[in-house]
Structure 1
Amino acid sequence: MLGDLLNQIPQDEQIDSVYTDGAYDTKQCREVIADRQAHAVIPPRKNAKPWKDTKSSSLERNELLRTVKRLGRTLWKKWSGYHRRSWLKLRCIASNY
């Protein structure tokens, strides 16, 4: 599903970051984002465990998991700019009215 959304953006158009909620904390979603050379800003699920494979998307996610455990989820959201996702969503909804 995320791949279909990203494919709507032309391949020659650069994507810097992809902000999603924890439902997209999957290997497949992170690999699709990495394939577009974008940075995934996805909070790990509450019961998240480190992934064992050595793909760059998995290593990045494992580092994120350590960071969230060290800093806490709230501080990570501020540090990563994750709150922008909610702000942008609100702006999109407001512009439809």
Structure 2
Amino acid sequence: MSAGNAGRQEHLEQLWKHVEQRLEEAVLIEWDGCHAIHLHTVQAPEKPLSVSFARGQLSKEEMLEAMREWFDHSCPLRFISEVRKSGGIVGSTPLIAQEDPAN
């Protein structure tokens, strides 16, 4: 593995550690089957995407494993975002952005 690839892999693993930390507050994870992976905190969406798991259906470790599998099977436009919806207001924060060099 080249130094550049090793650096990208190390950076990606740091991003995954942050995803794992945010799973502490997750109420639902979802994947559109192509490239969009969302980790919902605060409130689950009214109509989840095609593949979703709520807290209680999976452990935190199983949620992380599912998200890694989805990420590996996503198209090159893949990303993971944290979505917060409260009182009708939706906020989104990229956890692994499409434009991140490690992605």
Question: TM-score, with normalisation over the residues of structure 1?
Answer: 0.30
Quick one: higher RCO (CA 8 Å, sep 6+), 1 or 2? 2
Identify the structure with the greater helix proportion. 1
Identify the structure with the greater strand proportion. 2
